[in-house]
Chains A and B, each alone.
Chain A
Amino acid sequence: GQNIDQPTEMTATEGAIVQINCTYQTSGFNGLFWYQQHAGEAPTFLSYNVLDGLEEKGRFSSFLSRSKGYSYLLLKELQMKDSASYLCATGGNTGKLIFGQGTTLQVKP
């Protein structure tokens, strides 16, 4: 079976750092994706990890531990525009992504 868990909601302050966790149990794991989705808009790609470790991309970083079935998305220097849902998804060998329910992040002034 396939199961992905992430917190439903998080709140953080502008300028701070926030870490959004994702745990997964999937068969045929072949990479972990993070997407950002603003209300009423389509998901946009943030990052992809297939090997263990940290991938840094500007203010956003993503970490993967395959042995633990665990990933996190780290957002630094939070801005108000970062208020959105963050979706964790696992990928297989073909075009099928399994998504978690998403974490709604609210950034407050």
Chain B
Amino acid sequence: KAGVTQTPRYLIKTRGQQVTLSCSPISGHRSVSWYQQTPGQGLQFLFEYFSETQRNKGNFPGRFSGRQFSNSRSEMNVSTLELGDSALYLCASSLEFAGGPDTQYFGPGTRLTVL
């Protein structure tokens, strides 16, 4: 099975711009989660989607948004970029079963640099 894929892998933007990142989960996985990773804060949860619905949301401002499509692919959008948004954005997918957490499998990430 192909793993989680993310595009683009690298992105350079300037302050005030917006950006859209894409994630394709492992085939058959229905849950997609997004994380931001920075040297100072580590891995922080952004949001999670399941069946096209946002099921969980982390403590990030409204500039961060996402969505999931019927084929489980997901996108996240960051508007009005700030320098502090420079980070590695990781997407993870899981199979999802009732009664407990699933192992999440991570994509290679998108390295966003805001100048």
Asked if A and B bind, the verdict is yes
Name A's B-contacting residues (CB within 8 A).
Answer: 30-31, 33, 35, 41-45, 48, 50, 87, 89, 91-102
With A94-B48, A94-B55, A94-B56 given, is the CB distance from A99 to B42 under 8 Å?
yes
Question: What are 18 residue pairs bridging A and B, where the CB atoms are less than 8 Å apart in the complex?
Answer: A33-B103, A33-B104, A41-B108, A42-B109, A43-B43, A50-B100, A87-B42, A89-B43, A94-B31, A94-B50, A94-B55, A95-B31, A95-B92, A95-B101, A97-B45, A97-B104, A99-B43, A102-B42
Please provide the chain B residues from 6 to 57 with a CB less than 8 Å away from any CB of chain A in the complex: 31-33, 35, 42-45, 48, 50, 55-56
Instruction: Please tell me if the beta carbons of B101 and A93 are within 8 angstroms of each other in the complex.
Output: yes
Residues of B within 8 A of A50 (CB): 100
Q: Does B81 contact A (CB under 8 A)?
A: no
Instruction: Please tell me if the beta carbons of A100 and B94 are within 8 angstroms of each other in the complex.
Output: no
| Closest Cβ neighbor of A96 among chain B residues | B56
